[in-house]
Structure 1
Amino acid sequence: MSNAMAVYACCVVVLFFKMLAISCYQGYYRLRYLVFINAEDAAVFGRVAQPAERPEVERATQAWRNDLESIPMFVALGGLAVSLEAYAAVTVWLCLVFTLARVLHTVTYLAGKQPWRTLSYGVGTLCLIVLAGLVISRVVVGWPT
């Protein structure tokens, strides 16, 4: 297995655990305050369903949705870059930087910290654009190798 594939695979796993952590964060706040919007969930704890989520849960939901806008693109573009053997050193760095940017985005999103949330989002998006460029350059021009 190539170094690029190993790094890419580790990054995908880190992103999986990051998204799992968001789910656990939501569950923690639901259980801590016993606030549920689904009647069947509330009934398990002898509660009445609430009309809205707690603010912490809603914020985590927004972070989760943002992940769904970018992480699938990373999985596709990173996987293509690795499988097409596009410039390996650049691919490795892009995978690492994207993963770090997404972790920082989640932390700053949950904490409500600007401008860091926007900066980390921008860095991640830039990584996706460069990955797309690597894939296209490898397919169309046949470089870099």
Structure 2
Amino acid sequence: MESFPTELGILTCLAILAASLWIPYIVGVNTAPEGSLPADAPDGFTRIPNPRLHRPWVQRAYRAHLNLLEQLVPFALLVFLVDRVDGFTALTYWTAIAFFWLRVAHAVGYITGKAAFPLRSLIFTAGWVCCLIMAYAVFAARF
């Protein structure tokens, strides 16, 4: 039986994070205080889908989810390509771990508002660098 690479395990955890990050937004939407939604909302329509109409932390939860998806798709494709070319190394191992924790820190920091500019941008940029490292691993394994 072949071993399951850590990079694929990390990718699985990232998929679970992405699949679960809608929860803070939905909780925020469904716990909106009375009177916090626009007065012109139709009768019985208490859930406004526009995130800009909700409390700041709810807006940030929405953006944190989108932000994760923006980086997860390229990262996942690169991990699959590295797997395909049999290119997993110590570099890809630590890059996958770093990417996971960067994305957790980004989501928590974004939703709580603790990771404001420039910290949140630096975390996002570090995630981008992780994508570049995985891309390098693809090329290094092939050429």
Fold-level match, TM-score > 0.5? yes
> How far off is 1:21 after superposition?
3.2
Deviates more, 1:94-103 or 1:61-70: 61-70
Larger RCO, structure (CA 8 Å, separation 6 or more): 2
Q: What is the aligned-residue identity percentage?
A: 23
- Give TM-score, length-normalised by structure 2: 0.77
For the aligned residue pairs, the C-alpha RMSD in angstroms reads: 2.5
Which residue of the partner structure matches residue 62 of structure 2?
61
Deviates more, 1:22-31 or 1:11-20: 11-20
Deviations 1:73-108 (A, max 9, x none): 111101111221214211111111111111111111
Structure 1 runs not aligned, ≥5 long? none
Rounded Cα–Cα distance in structure 1 between residues aligned with 2:46 and 2:109: 32
> Which structure shows the bigger proportion of residues in helix conformation?
1
- Structure 1 pair 88–32 and aligned structure 2 pair: CA distance change class (3 A): same
Rounded Cα–Cα distance in structure 2 between residues aligned with 1:90 and 1:118: 23
Number of matched residues? 132
Rounded Cα–Cα distance in structure 1 between residues aligned with 2:57 and 2:81: 36
Which residue of the partner structure matches residue 31 of structure 2?
32
Structure 2 runs not aligned, ≥5 long? none
Deviates more, 1:97-106 or 1:78-87: 78-87
Deviations 1:2-44 (A, max 9, x none): 35x2x1222122212322332110111111127789xxxx87x
Amino acid paired to 2:26: G
